[in-house]
Structure 1
Amino acid sequence: MSDLFATPTAQTVFSLLILCVLIAIGIWLVSRFRGGADEDREPASEVLSNFEEMLREGDISPAEFRTIEAVVGDKLNSEAKDS
């Protein structure tokens, strides 16, 4: 058995096999964590409501709110088209 891994070809094949397994595990982990991140996002309408409340309380200026509203408004439009 030790003679099998003594050749450079066998060592290369074994190393590539280990590398492929590690890459597959990495892809699985990344997809698992990335998929959960999409579920945690608030809808754009709720985000805009939070910023409207911040505007009423004086935490942000009207100019800042208009900038935020433009960005969030684009997301609202895209969410409306998707549903």
Structure 2
Amino acid sequence: MSDLLATPTAQSVFGLLILSVLIAIGIWLVSRFRDSSDEDREPASEVLSNFEEMLREGDISPAEFRTIEAVVGDKLNSEAKDS
């Protein structure tokens, strides 16, 4: 067995196998993280409600709110289309 791994071809194949396994594990970890982070996001309607409250409390200006509303409004429209 040790003679088989002594050849450069066998070492290359073994190295590529290990690299492939590590890449597969990395892809799996990233997909798990992405799935959980999508669940943590608030719907656009709740985000807009939070900014409306900030506007009422004076934390943001009406101009800032209109800018935010335009961006969040686009997301609300895309969420409505997806539903």
TM-score (norm: length of structure 2): 0.98
CA deviations on 1:41-68 (whole Å, 9 max, x unpaired) are: 1010000000000000000000000000
Structure 1's consecutive aligned runs of 4 or more residues displaced over 4 angstroms after TM superposition are: none
Cα distance in 1 between the residues matched to 2:34 and 2:80: 23
Count of equivalent residues: 83
Give the unaligned 5+ runs of structure 2: none
SS at match of 1:49: helix
Cα distance in 2 between the residues matched to 1:28 and 1:81: 29
Q: What's 1:4 paired with?
A: 4
Give the unaligned 5+ runs of structure 1: none
TM-score (norm: length of structure 1): 0.98
Q: CA deviation at 1:20?
A: 0.3
Cα-Cα RMSD: 0.5
Percent of residue pairs bearing the same amino acid type: 92
